[in-house]
Amino acid sequence: MRRGGGRYTPGMARLRVLLPTLPPHTPAGDLFLTGQHRAWSSDPAGWTFRRCGAGAELNVEFPEGTLLGLKVRVRTAHGQVIEEGNAWGGRAPAHTGAVTGDMTLTLDLAGWQDRRQGRDQPPRSAAPREELTLAAPWGEQTVRLWWPAAHPTAALPRVILHDGQNVFDEAASFAGQSWDAAGAAQVLAGEGHPCLIVALSVNEERSRRYVPFPFELNGFQPGADEYLDWIMGTLQPALSARFGNVDAAHTALAGSSFGGLVTLYGGLRDPQGYGTLGVFSPAVWPADFELLRWLQGRTAPDTRVWVDMGDHEADTVTGAAEVVRRTQDLAARLRPAVRNLQFTVGAGHWHDEAAWAARLPGFLRWWLTGLDR
């Protein structure tokens, strides 16, 4: 990838990135583009927009077939880097797009992240009904809870979701998007399939808590077994005391990316602990795909498993197709080892909360309607 303006490079496409209107109070300084293609670097060099009129533009080249995840940032004269946000000063999702030839990509900026941090953002998705704090080896653990108001809470089937900060309302989420889990579950409750959602928030220790194998991002000190032991030994008894006992067959564990990894690992580590696993976009690459070796010979004959992947979850179209193929292979390996397996590919889905929100209703329906089969 490089700045445009020279002669055409074979295999490359010219991309005009257009910001039609800059938000009010845009800081002075170097306005630049970052993204997954730059490992989210905050160095403006080579990626600075030219301000023109009310907006700005940048001409660059990308390889044909690149899948883009982009953000706009400003580096002020004092060296402070400010990232685009939503209209309420909170985080905004990345812009996405596929490079399919010479093209113009228009990015609409809603605002800039600031000290408001989205706190006054009108909710688009329901917040949890209750939050509680439990002691854990890593400190206090926030547990966010939701259940349908019209149903008694006793003995509801329960799903434990990782990345609980992204599960309900957008204001608390990582990137200004949520799974809208309460909205999806309310639809099922209206059809006679209520459930209890138990969402576990996580902080910067996500790579340690969710990845069971030593690798660079967890400092070669994995903490997934400690986390899963806590779920079984502390969280589950606390839920039973609060909402009544629920057997393993009516307990699901689910998560995305590293959350999908720890879900699959936890379900096969403790095959009698969960009746259903929701494995969304599993990131199985840590430690040179150690999970695939770890899975060999392991079974969970009473467990139902949902595995899915979007078809845009890589840096290129070719890479995304390979990710889907690898996930299909994972599903094929698991199928004879579990009770049954559902594999789904999300068409046009990226590796983000919007995609997981789109697929969550299908998982919940599959889980809840299949409980008594």
What does the pLDDT look like over 306-351, one tens digit per residue? 999 999 999 999 999 999 999 999 999 999 999 999 999 999 999 9
> Per mean pLDDT, which range of 55-59, 126-130, 250-254, 280-284 is the poorest?
126-130
CATH 2.60.40.10 residue ranges of the chain are 2-112
CA angle 266, 270, 273 (to 5 degrees): 100
Contact of 103 with 65, CB cutoff 8 Å: no
CA distance 146 to 153: 10
Contact yes or no for 326/314 (Cβ under 8 A): no
Radius of gyration of the chain (CA): 22
Q: Domain 2-112 carries which CATH code?
A: 2.60.40.10
Residue 157 confidence (pLDDT) above 70: yes
Half-sphere exposure of 215 (CA within 13 A, CB side): 19
Q: State residue 8's pLDDT score.
A: 59
pLDDT at 173: 66
C-alpha 188/C-alpha 92 separation (Å) is 29
181-190 and 353-369 helices cross at what angle (nearest 10)? 30
**141, 151 Cβ separation under 8 angstroms:** no
- What was the pLDDT predicted at 10? 73
Region 11-20: mean pLDDT is 96
- 356 CB neighbour count, 10 Å cutoff: 31
What is the per-residue pLDDT for 167? 93
**pLDDT-based confidence at residue 4 (cuts at 50, 70, 90):** very low
- Please tell me the predicted confidence (pLDDT) of residue 170: 72
Nearest CA to 63 among 5, 103, 4, 13?
A: 13
**What contacts 47, CB < 8 A, 6 or more positions away?**
3, 32, 33, 34, 38, 58, 60
Q: What is the pLDDT of residue 121?
A: 78
What is the arithmetic mean of pLDDT over 58-82? 97
CB atoms within 10 A of CB 223: 19
2: pLDDT strictly greater than 70: no
CA–CA distances in Å: residue 87 to residues 22, 57, 120, 208: 12, 21, 10, 33
Is the pLDDT reported for residue 91 higher than 80? Answer: yes
C-alpha span between 120 and 118 (Å, rounded): 6
Q: Is 153 left (phi over 0), alpha (psi -120 to 50) or beta?
A: alpha
pLDDT of residue 127: 87
What CA–CA distance (Å, rounded) separates 342 from 150?
30
Mean pLDDT on 155-175: 86
pLDDT at 5: 46
Give the pLDDT confidence score for residue 151 in this predicted structure.
81
Mutual angle of helices 258-269 and 286-294, in 10-degree steps: 30
CATH topology assigned to domain 130-369 = Rossmann fold (3.40.50)
- CATH 3.40.50.1820: which residues of the chain? 130-369
The average pLDDT across 179-196 equals: 95
Report residue 135's pLDDT band, with 50, 70 and 90 as the boundaries. very high
Distances from the Cα of 270 to the Cα of 119, 141, 228, 343, angstroms = 39, 22, 9, 22
And the tokens for 268? 């096969």
